[in-house]
Each structure stands twice: as C-alpha cells, then as structure tokens.
Amino acid sequence: MITLERDPTRAIGVRPAVSAVIFDRRGRLLLQQRSDGGQWGLPGGSVEIGESVLDAVAREVHEETGLIVKARRLIGVYSAPALQLVRYPDGNVWHYVSLSFECTVRGGALQTCDETLALAYFPLRRLPPTLLAHHRVRIRDASSRRVAPFIR
C-alpha cells in the first residue's frame, strides 16, 4: 500500500512528477488502479531526464492508459511535504514535486499495462474509497475550475 510519510528525513530524494486529470463527456474522472499498491489514483509518474513536463504527462498517460492526450491547463504545483512525501510498499520514500494537468483525449483506447490493474471513469461524488490521499487534493482543485493554478 502506498502511504504518506511524515518524516522528511526518510526520503531518499526529490523527484519531479506529473499527473493527469481526464474528464469524459459526462464529467466523470478517469482513475487508474495501480499495481504497486492496489489503490486508485490519477495517471502519471516521474519526469525523465531530458523530458519536459508536457511530454512527461503525455508519455505517462499513454503508457498507463493507452490514451493519447494533450495538456489543456495546469491545475497546480504540489510540493508540500505533508502531501508529497510518499512511502511505497518496498519501503522507499520519495519527496515529489508534482505538476497536475487537466488533459483532453486526442486518441487511443483504454488498455492496462504492468503498472495498471484497472481503468475506470468515476463520478466525482463516487470516487473509490482506496483513492490515494494526495490525489484527492488535486482532484478537488481540478473540480474547482479555477483559472489560476494552485500552489500547494
């Protein structure tokens, strides 16, 4: 299970990351059930060396969902240790600085991969109970439809 860590001294490093908020035409949110902890969350992951955040979000979404997306707006930048110190099942702790984008689907078809157990669209009022805690904040921010990005 993926959890939030309270002790920043346990982090082995800082990683830049991205996540995608993708709504369908009915206003439902696409979530990914992750294979590394079984919990649900937004598609996304680490930015690779030599890659822009826009390229990273498109790549991560395609790898994890099969969809081709384009970032439409920056929802927010998330770096607060209370939300971004993440402990993985293997015991590793990373401090993520994550940019979350609202994305539109341009093509592709939903498909799972090694990182994805399941993909499903959820109404915002019925998100799964095993949704990652730090993703709830990003979803709430995206739902506010505020133009200016959040910085948390």
* Domain carrying residue 51: 3-151
Q: Which of 38-42, 108-112, 144-148 has the lowest mean pLDDT?
A: 144-148
What is the structure's pLDDT at 74? Answer: 98
pTM above 0.85, yes or no: yes
Residues contacting residue 41 through CB under 8 Å, at least 6 positions apart: 19, 31, 32, 34, 131, 132, 135
Residue 111 CA from chain centroid, whole number: 17
Average pLDDT over residues 23-41: 96
What is the structure's pLDDT at 94? Answer: 97
Cα–Cα distance, 71 to 89 (Å, whole number)? 30
What is the structure's pLDDT at 103? Answer: 98
| Nearest residue to 4 via CA among 96, 119, 118, 76 | 96
Rg (CA), the chain: 14
* Element at 116 (helix H, strand E): strand 116-122
Instruction: Give the mean pLDDT of the chain.
Output: 96
Give the SS3 label for residue 105: strand
Residues contacting residue 102 through CB under 8 Å, at least 6 positions apart: 20, 21, 22, 23, 71, 72, 73, 75, 142
What is the structure's pLDDT at 8? Answer: 96
Number of domains making up the chain:
1
Q: Any idea what the CATH number is for the domain that residue 93 is in?
A: 3.90.79.10
What is the structure's pLDDT at 37? Answer: 87
Please write the tens of the pLDDT for every residue from 71-126: 999 999 999 999 999 999 999 999 999 999 999 999 999 999 999 999 999 999 99
Q: How confident is the model at residue 35 (pLDDT cuts 50, 70, 90)?
A: very high
